[in-house]
């Protein structure tokens, strides 16, 4: 690695410093317009999904598209079970249960672990860090069958708590890496003072460390929540009717069923809504979570 | 899994030995006190993520079809031979490579261009950034459904609708998914993954040494020179990181393949084919052998990825 690369490699909080601020020339204006156009192209399918979900089924499936058809909440009402069809509430509640409980478990396991990897590091703590990371890089599909067989043997198929365990293991490495980078920023003096006052591990964590890294914990939880909420493969294999999650419920729309476009769009958007909210809330920490803490 | 990664910050990484090093029992107690908070997470991970691989390895040497429970037994390398000579599996390897490379490279290029655009000051930059990350925040199955039904559908999808709108009654109305099955999946995934790449590259751009760039500008470097000799070398490791993390996630893609084509038309990738062998055909032995082969293939990428993360990690220091 050359000196040039390392010299500036530490990403600092220089977010709002624009590179060429002062001269809004014509070129700069054009580039700004280009950025806007690209942003609109990327967000357009989502807006289209929203608009379609607000049209009646006959207006949703027209060619050419009817952008200005009258708006209606029919499909949303339809999706949430006003008319016939399976109610989406049990799958949504299952997804919320699996995501929230697994996120809490992840925090309970990862915060002490991150403490033992940064504040009072164990020997060879980097090896442990890379062990956690390596589990994230192996294909989950290679472990799918044994997990299925164990769940079958234990009578835990179609049980939401099986998914809780799987999602916890899926997100724990991400959380350990993120939490470690947050805990590493806690000043040593504060911890020394706590030790001087005779604080034990739990009390140090609860009264000193956790309040100081609360924003980091919030970001970590939101990212773990998103990943759990999105997961399909394990949920599809390990659940059936009782513990079915929202993404599994959505796979019911894979084959076309006559006029159903508005309902599909309402369903897809409704299921994505919690992720959109969590994602926008965690926007600034999103990169850090997705890169497993490699980028600050 | 142990890999030969350069360990960051060698000396500083070691836990300092307790002051009274003579009392070994006290030292040992101190070691365990340090380890205690780590153990629950570590044991949990080993149990849930490592043991299943051992199970997969054992089952991969067995003749085990759940439809014929009386014929279970070991059959040596038979499953590996079946899998490695099966045209379906071999084409799944190729599909996985095409899909991953297509998605990762395209979204990396687009992500870099968009990150460069967003790194400049302009009116509404925050809004554009938020618009850009929206595709990444759609549940993958929902995104695949959106593309399959609302965009690609040949009779009422938005794409063909726009063609009619622009070119009138005689506009071409392709059946996107049947004509370009893999391309359709790649396009929908590029839409979801470009924001991810953009965020990583943008983080890289914002970590540039601005004073050095300013100095180069004053010395008369052109914008292109600054990009070629300063920005690009600095971005290289972020491009590597984005590419590798993207590969790790996209190699495992199941949702889009399952939803858009259900693995038909030559789009079945490794996760899908393993899922099918295990879940539909109930060929547990063969599915496990395929899993082991996938695992070996991934370890190669993972080792390289760990090295890249490790170099970033080292620079960050402690």
C-alpha distance from A80 to closest chain B C-alpha (Å): 16
Return d(Cα A175, Cα A110) in angstroms, integer: 6
Q: Answer whether residue B47 is part of any domain.
A: no
- Which of A1, A7, A9 should one mutate to test binding to chain B, selecting the residue with the greatest count of B CBs within 10 A? A9
Contact call for residues A130 and A177 (beta carbons, < 8 A): no
Work out the percent of chain A whose per-residue pLDDT is above 70.
89
Q: CA nearest A172: which of B50, B198, B304, B305?
A: B50
Which H or E run includes A226?
Answer: helix A214-230
Q: Answer whether residue B15 is part of any domain.
A: no
- For chain B, how many structural domains are there in total? 1
Q: Which domain holds residue B175?
A: 80-316
pLDDT (0 to 100) of residue B8: 42
* Upstream peptide bond of B205 is cis (omega within 30 degrees of 0): no
Q: Answer whether residue B68 is part of any domain.
A: no
Q: Say whether A28 and B312 touch across the interface (CB within 8 A).
A: no
Among B residues 160-199, those touching chain A with beta carbons less than 8 Å apart: 160-162, 164-165, 191, 194-196, 199
Which H or E run includes B63?
Answer: strand B62-63
Q: Say whether B49 and A34 touch across the interface (CB within 8 A).
A: no
Cβ neighbours around A96 below 10 Å, total: 16
Band of pLDDT at residue A100, cut at 50, 70 and 90: very high
pLDDT (0 to 100) of residue A107: 95
Q: Which chain B positions have a beta carbon within 8 Å of A2's beta carbon? A: 233
pLDDT tens digits, residue range B104-141? 999 999 999 999 999 888 888 889 999 999 999 999 99
Q: Is the pLDDT of residue B178 over 60?
A: yes
pLDDT (0 to 100) of residue B140: 94
Mean pLDDT of A55-75: 83
pTM comes to 0.85
Question: Burial, A153: exposed, middle or buried (Cβ in 10 Å; 0-12, 13-18, 19+)?
Answer: exposed
Q: For the ranges A83-87, A170-174, B284-288, B302-306, which has the lowest average pLDDT?
A: A83-87
pLDDT (0 to 100) of residue B309: 74
Q: Rounded to the nearest 5°, which phi and psi values hold at B287?
A: -60, -40
C-alpha distance from B111 to closest chain A C-alpha (Å): 11
Q: Say whether A286 and B199 touch across the interface (CB within 8 A).
A: yes
CA dihedral angle for residue B38, residue B41, residue B42, residue B47, rounded to 10 degrees:
160
pLDDT (0 to 100) of residue A1: 33
Cβ neighbours around B176 below 10 Å, total: 21
Q: Is the pLDDT of residue A74 over 90?
A: no
pLDDT (0 to 100) of residue A13: 43
Q: Say whether B213 and A226 touch across the interface (CB within 8 A).
A: no
Give me A296's structure tokens. Answer: 């600050």
The matching CATH number, chosen from 1.10.3720.10, 3.40.1160.10, 3.20.20.30, 1.10.10.370, for A89-290 is: 1.10.3720.10
Q: Answer whether residue B111 is part of any domain.
A: yes
> Cα–chain-centroid distance for residue A117?
24
Q: Answer whether residue B185 is part of any domain.
A: yes
pLDDT (0 to 100) of residue B232: 82
Given CB atoms, is A125 within the 8 Å cutoff of chain B? yes
Q: Answer whether residue B7 is part of any domain.
A: no
Look up the CATH number of the domain holding residue B163.
1.10.3720.10
Q: Answer whether residue B16 is part of any domain.
A: no
Mean pLDDT of B13-28: 56
β-partners of residue B62 are: B74
Band of pLDDT at residue A268, cut at 50, 70 and 90: very high
Per domain, the residue ranges of chain A are 89-290
Q: Say whether A168 and B44 touch across the interface (CB within 8 A).
A: yes
Given CB atoms, is A121 within the 8 Å cutoff of chain B? yes
CB pairs under 8 A between A and B: 387
Contact call for residues B140 and A50 (beta carbons, < 8 A): no
Asked if ipTM goes beyond 0.95, one says: no
Band of pLDDT at residue B172, cut at 50, 70 and 90: confident
Higher pLDDT, A167 or B306: A167
Mean pLDDT of chain B: 84
Return d(Cα A187, Cα A201) in angstroms, integer: 16
Q: Answer whether residue B272 is part of any domain.
A: yes
Q: For the ranges A90-104, A247-261, B174-188, B294-308, which has the lowest average pLDDT?
A: B294-308
Q: Describe the crossing of helices B51-59 and A144-153 by its angle, rounded to 10 degrees.
A: 100
Q: For the ranges A129-133, B43-47, B54-58, which has the lowest average pLDDT?
A: A129-133
């Amino acid at each position: 690695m050359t000196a040039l690369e390392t010299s500036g490699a530490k990403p600092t909080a220089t977010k709002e410093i624009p590179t060429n601020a002062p001269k809004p020339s014509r070129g700069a204006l054009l580039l700004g317009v280009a950025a806007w156009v690209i942003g609109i192209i990327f967000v357009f399918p989502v807006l289209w999904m929203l608009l379609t979900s607000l049209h009646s089924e006959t207006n949703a499936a027209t060619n050419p598209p009817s952008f200005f058809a009258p708006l209606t909440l029919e499909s949303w009402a339809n999706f949430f079970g006003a008319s016939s069809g399976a109610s989406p509430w049990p799958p949504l509640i299952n997804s919320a249960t699996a995501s929230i409980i697994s996120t809490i478990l992840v925090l309970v396991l990862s915060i002490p672990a991150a403490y033992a990897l940064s504040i009072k590091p164990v020997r060879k703590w980097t090896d442990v860090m890379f062990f956690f990371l390596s589990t994230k890089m192996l294909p989950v599909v290679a472990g799918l069958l044994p997990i299925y067989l164990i769940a079958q043997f234990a009578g835990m198929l179609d049980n939401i708590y099986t998914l809780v365990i799987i999602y916890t293991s899926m997100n724990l490495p991400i959380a350990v890496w993120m939490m470690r980078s947050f805990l590493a920023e806690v000043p040593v003096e504060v911890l020394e003072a706590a030790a001087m006052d005779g604080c034990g591990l739990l009390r140090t964590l609860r009264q000193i460390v956790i309040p100081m890294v609360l924003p980091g914990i919030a970001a970590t939880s939101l990212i773990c929540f998103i990943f759990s909420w999105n997961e399909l493969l394990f949920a599809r294999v390990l659940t059936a009717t009782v513990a079915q999650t929202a993404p599994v419920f959505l796979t019911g729309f894979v084959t076309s069923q006559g006029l159903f476009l508005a309902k599909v769009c309402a369903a897809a958007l409704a299921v994505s809504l919690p992720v959109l909210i969590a994602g926008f809330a965690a926007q600034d920490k999103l990169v850090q979570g997705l890169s497993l803490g490699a980028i600050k | 899994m142990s890999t030969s990664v350069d360990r960051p910050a060698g000396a500083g990484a070691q836990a300092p030995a307790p002051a009274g090093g003579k009392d070994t029992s006290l030292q040992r107690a101190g070691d365990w006190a340090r380890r205690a908070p780590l153990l629950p997470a570590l044991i949990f991970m080993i149990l849930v993520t490592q043991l299943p691989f051992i199970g997969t390895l054992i089952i991969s040497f067995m003749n085990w079809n759940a439809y014929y429970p009386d014929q279970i037994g070991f059959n040596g390398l038979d499953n590996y031979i079946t899998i490695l000579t099966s045209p379906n599996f071999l084409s799944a390897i190729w599909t996985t490579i095409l899909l991953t490379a297509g998605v990762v490279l395209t979204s990396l290029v687009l992500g870099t261009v968009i990150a460069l655009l967003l790194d400049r000051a302009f009116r509404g930059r925050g809004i554009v950034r938020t618009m850009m990350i929206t595709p990444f925040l759609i549940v993958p199955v929902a995104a695949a459904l959106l593309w399959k039904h609302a965009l690609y559908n040949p009779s009422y999808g938005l794409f063909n609708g726009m063609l009619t709108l622009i070119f009138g009654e005689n506009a071409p109305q392709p059946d996107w998914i049947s004509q370009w099955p893999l391309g359709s999946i790649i396009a929908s995934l590029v839409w979801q993954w470009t924001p991810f790449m953009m965020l990583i590259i943008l983080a890289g751009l914002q970590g540039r040494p601005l004073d050095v760039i300013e100095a180069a500008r004053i010395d008369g470097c052109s914008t292109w020179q600054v990009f070629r000799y300063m920005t690009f070398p600095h971005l290289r490791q972020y491009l590597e990181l984005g590419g590798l993390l993207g590969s790790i996630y996209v190699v495992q893609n199941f949702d889009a393949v399952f939803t858009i084509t259900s693995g038909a038309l030559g789009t079945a990738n490794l996760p899908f084919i393993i899922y099918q062998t295990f879940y539909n055909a109930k060929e547990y032995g063969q599915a496990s052998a395929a899993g082991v082969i996938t695992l070996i293939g991934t370890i190669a990428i993972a080792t390289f990825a760990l090295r890249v993360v490790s170099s970033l990690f080292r620079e960050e220091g402690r």
